[in-house]
Amino acid sequence: MGKDITYHEQTDMENTQKLRDILQTLPAFCRNYFRAMEPTTSTSTRIAYAYDIRVFFRFLMENNPLLKGKDITALNIGILEQLGAEDIEEYQEYLKLYESKDKHLTNGERGLKRKMSALRSFYAYYYKHQFITSNPTLLVDMPKLHDKTIVRLDVDESAALLDYIEHCGDHLTGQKKIYWEKTKLRDLAIVTLLLGTGIRVSECVGLDIQDVDFKNNGIRVVRKGGNEMIVYFGDEVEEALKNYMEARSNITPVAGNENALFYSTQRKRIGVKAVENLVKKYAREITTTKKITPHKLRSTYGTTLYKETGDIYLVADVLGHKDVNTTKKHYAAMDEERRRKAASAVKLRGI
């Protein structure tokens, strides 16, 4: 018997094939760059960069009169030598609004920065290996990112969200009642797990039944970059998981999905989009002023953990942040809040 393929191995295989397909639409010299990236990046990262680099070449084809009507795949590396800082600036402007397959696409600050970072990395590879003699991307300023307010649920909102999932169907009838009864324990387990551990939605859907250890109350997750880690959970998560897994034992999965922890209503491994949709569906009933996604549940967990422990290094470790400065940046506002409290905590005259 062959070894069972894990969710992450299957995803990598699919991504590898997808990347090969994308590379067929790019100039041949691009393959050297993506081959060099392989040891230090995930397949999903390489795909994202490939899409971004393809946007760059499509920009060139649309805006350079000398290239109109030519085949992208026929371009040689000399094209990179012909571009200057002004061309890169024009590309950055183009990214704010462009067309693709009869749709208008836009990029905000973060999308703009990601695409420009991809282009810088692309140029840097060829410049470092002396395929080209100049790197105009270094002459163009990167887009500035403005800090975003961390959106999270308050403690009472978290409790209300779980209560709603558990009881919102009590007064339903017909097909809506049947659907709620079918998905209640699963949805409650997923949201409780996200709120109680701070794992990413991709880590959640990638869980196999064998990854859950009730003896130590931990789950084995595969972090960004492929590193494995045990994330521990408390009694509330344990109860929600056990209730769901008891009901799960009555499900006959579609072949190839036997190991998945969470199933869709089609009896296959649940996907990221489905989890995003169910979180948004329930959260809309709890708050209309906050757009709650699985990532916001992760922020909620991180905030609560930091408030309870005051240990930013612990928060960084549990959330799987490689750089603690990322964590500090996200939760700096809470330190500011503490410092404000310090101003009135000390009484000089006992008043």
For 199-228, write each residue's pLDDT tens digit: 999 999 999 999 999 999 999 999 887 789
Radius of gyration from C-alpha coordinates of the chain:
24
Residue 351 clears pLDDT 50, i.e. is over it: yes
List b or e across 183-216, with b for residues whose CB sees 16 or more CB atoms inside 10 angstroms: bbbbbbbbbbbbbbbbbbbbbbbbbbeebbeeee
Specify the pTM: 0.84
Cβ–Cβ < 8 Å for 278, 292: no
Per-residue pLDDT of 88-140, as tens digits, reads: 999 999 999 998 878 899 999 999 999 999 999 999 999 999 999 999 999 99
Kindly list the domain boundaries of the chain, sorted by start residue. Answer: 7-139, 155-334
**Sheet holding 218-222: strands in order across?**
212-213, 218-222, 228-232
Cβ–Cβ < 8 Å for 282, 187: yes
Mind giving me the DSSP string for 135-193? Answer: -GGGGSPPPPPPP-PPP---HHHHHHHHHHHHHTTTT--HHHHHHHHHHHHHHHHHHHH
**pLDDT value of residue 140:** 96
**pLDDT value of residue 335:** 64
CATH topology of domain 7-139: DNA polymerase; domain 1 (1.10.150)
Q: Which two tokens stand for residue 16?
A: 């590898």
Asked: is 155-334 a CATH 1.10.10.10 domain? The reply is no
**Gap between the Cα atoms of 287 and 290, Å rounded:** 6
Of 248, 240, 284, 242, nearest to 265 by C-alpha is 248
Q: Which two tokens stand for residue 238?
A: 């344990």
